[in-house]
Structure 1
Amino acid sequence: MNNLKKVVSALVFSGALLQSSASLAVSVGPQHVLSQQAGGYRIQVGDAQITSFTDGTVPQDLYTLFTQTTRQHIDGLLAKNYQSNPVEVSINAFLIELPGHKILVDTGVGQLFGPGLGGRLVESLATRGIRPEDITEVLLTHAHSDHEGGLVKDGQRVFTNATVYVGKPDIDFFFNNENQQKTGYDQQHFDFAQRALGPYLKAGKIKTFSATETLLPDITGTVHPGHTPGSAFFTLNSAGEKIVFVGDIIHVAAVQFPDPSITITYDEDRPQAAKVRKNAFREFARQGEMIAAPHLPWPGIGHIADNGHGGYNWIPVNYTNRTAQ
């Protein structure tokens, strides 16, 4: 319980801090916390159906979490997007449906953040008639609590029929506590990785990969160390169409798109994480590739465009809701 309180306090504001944020001299519209319905947003990519599911949102104190920047710079970038600190950040998970496969990309936080802070993925899946036992594979972008937490409930595997694919460097790193002592990286990242992935390792349900490997039909995984040693992109190529699931190369669109040099305390190797982000943004903008990101505003699917000033703009997927003809 003490560990849970520590991680929640690192991620979210206390009531007193939330009240103090009202004094910020930033002109923004009302930002009231409201509960939304669970559910998903579906698109077609080649022969695959992709559904973005919400696991909920959590407030983030960017003053505490962001590095390589100042409060004034953060406030200026947020104000341009009619936002102020703290910022509500989405937790998205994605379902890839291919013949014989129902594949989740990430699983949200599960029980790790406590009631009211994420943990809605199973509820969201149920809105489309999908049960946890229907999932055949889980592609884990990296071993952090808000991506792996949904793998377990009360210490038991949630996705009982699923094989979990994760970058080998994350298993090597987080399952050796000596690495915490060597690097000073927060011990709770190690604790949560072992808690979430341990039952799958014990059941023989973990497959690892390094560099770039074909994991499933039409899907490759590529390790991009920085945020964690085994952080990965997953690329789906189907019938001439493509989408890349990018993991945590970005946490807050209003800040890190215009200034990709800004890093976050969750980065295990901050200079490398910034390098990965800059290179990825440049290539995604140049190629015009569609990406899916777990912390961009739901559904978190869209494109990146060069803004001509050393940064980038986020162009979300165009909303469509009608019967196909």
Structure 2
Amino acid sequence: MKPLKQTLSAIAAAAALVSAAHAAAPMVKTPAPGYYRIMVGDFEVTPINDGTFDLPVDQILHQKPELTRAALEKNHLKLPLETSDNAFLINTGSKLVLVDTGAGALFGPTVGKFLQNLKAAGYQPEQIDEIYITHLHGDHVGGLSHDGQRNFPNAVVRAGKPDADRWLSQANMDKAPADEKADYQGAMASLNPYVKAGKFKAIEADGQLVPGVSALAEHGHTPGHTTYVVESRGQKLVLIGDLIHVAAVQMDNPQVTVAFDSDEKAAYAARKKVFDDAAKKAYLIGGAHLQFPGLGHLQTQGKGYRWVPVNYTQMR
């Protein structure tokens, strides 16, 4: 039998090897698939993340850069701001409706994850019946198509007519400034496969699109920017698109607009109208660029709002 001291040394050496082996395991560095789940009445709503992209928000928000930097620091955020790109899937029980599609290949390698996250959430692209686009900027339409092929072969796509008239017009693109042409190209590449297939229909007026889901024009960010209202059994969710970009700044100071707004005055008016109503009536809102899953409530606070994210739920 080995002496006790020798035995203990052997045990210690073995433990050290086990510890070293665990310490040497590679870091994963990626989160779980980007989807969430919540019920709105009888409807199942699944926020799906397309990824994140960096925004130089101190340069694009219309306020003094030092104020933006101070607001980010207060909220433990840094520049450039890593910004969520969210879409929302609504299962009404009879229809599968998608609001926005993420950026696809239009915004670089950190986005374009929508389809894999959709599948991880338990759905296939072929199952989607309707796609409603809040507006035709690339980070909302890029996921519609790839290499001229529709990613959602059975879906009808709808968006506000003023946006379609602007961004899908070759004449408008031809006369646009050079730094804006990419916006037209992205919209056309994403939407034209559906237009050619007879699968695109512009929204010309507010109203119900399928039972429980309605369109409501909130122009300003773009000429045809549209929000979508989801209602079931007295519960309500409003999907607000780009009414807000930087919660750390624009919740406290909703008058701050962004360089992407086509009409700053109208964009602020739309934000204030929707946010005041959401705070008063305590319904949910869902934002494309609010931190994933982008769902929560608003409360009035001073001259602005307090953002209350949804609580984590396992849908019991």
* TM bucket normalised to smaller: 0.7 to 0.9
Tell me the CA shift for residue 246 of structure 1: 0.6
Q: Which range moved further: 177-186 or 268-277?
A: 177-186
Q: 2:42 pairs with 39, 47, 51, which one?
A: 47
Cα shift at 1:140: 0.6
Which residue in the other structure is 1:83 paired with? Answer: 77
TM-score normalised by the chain length of structure 1: 0.84
| Cα distance, 1:298–1:233 mapped onto 2, change above 3 Å | same
Q: Distance in 2 between matches of 1:87 and 1:281?
A: 23
Q: 1:300 aligns with which of 276, 294, 298?
A: 294
Percent of residue pairs identical: 41
Secondary structure of the structure 2 residue equivalent to 1:312: strand
Distance apart, 1:123 and its partner CA: 0.7
Which residue pairs with 2:117 in the alignment? 124
**Corresponding pairs, count:** 287
Is the 2:221–2:261 contact (alpha carbons within 8 Å) kept by the matching residues of 1?
yes
Deviations 1:223-272 (A, max 9, x none): 11111111101001111111111100011110111111111121111221
The alignment partner of 2:275 has SS state of helix
Three-state SS of the structure 2 residue aligned to 1:280 is helix
TM-score scaled by structure 2? 0.87
Matched, 1:244 2:244: no
Q: How far did residue 292 of structure 1 move?
A: 0.7
What SS does the aligned partner of 1:40 have?
Answer: coil
Name structure 2 gaps, 5 residues minimum. 1-28
Counterparts of 1:186 and 1:272 in 2: how far apart (Å)?
A: 21
The aligned amino acid for 1:48 is: F
Structure 1 partner of 2:18: none
For 2:301 and 2:79, the matched residues in 1 are separated by 24
Q: Are 1:156 and 2:149 matched, yes or no?
A: yes
How far residue 35 of structure 1 moved from its aligned partner, in angstroms, is: 3.0
The offset of 1:183, in angstroms, is 7.4
Contact 1:210 1:223 in 2 (8 A): no
- Displacement of 1:188 in angstroms is 1.7
Find 1:137's aligned residue among 113, 130, 146: 130
Give 3-state SS (helix, strand or coil) of 2:222's partner. Answer: coil
**One-letter code aligned to 1:88:** E
Quote the residue 1:60 is aligned against. Answer: 55
Given the alignment of the two structures, is residue 101 of structure 1 paired with residue 95 of structure 2, yes or no?
Answer: yes
Equivalent of residue 112 in structure 1, options 106, 113, 133 = 106
- Cα distance change of structure 1 residues 86 and 39 upon mapping to structure 2, 3 Å threshold: closer
String of CA shifts for 1:41-89, please: whole Å, max 9, x gaps. 111111100011111111111122212x011110121122111221110
Once residues 101 and 39 of structure 1 are traced to their aligned partners in structure 2, the CA distance between those partners, rounded to angstroms, is 22
* Structure 1: segments with no counterpart, 5+ residues: 1-33
Deviations, residues 81-107 of structure 1 (Å, cap 9, x unaligned) = 111221110011111001231111110
- Per-residue deviation at 1:178? 4.4
2:268 partner SS: helix
Q: Structure 2 matches for 1:147-226, cutoff 5 A? A: 147-179=140-172, 186-226=180-220
Q: What RMSD, in angstroms, separates the aligned Cα atoms of the two structures? A: 1.6
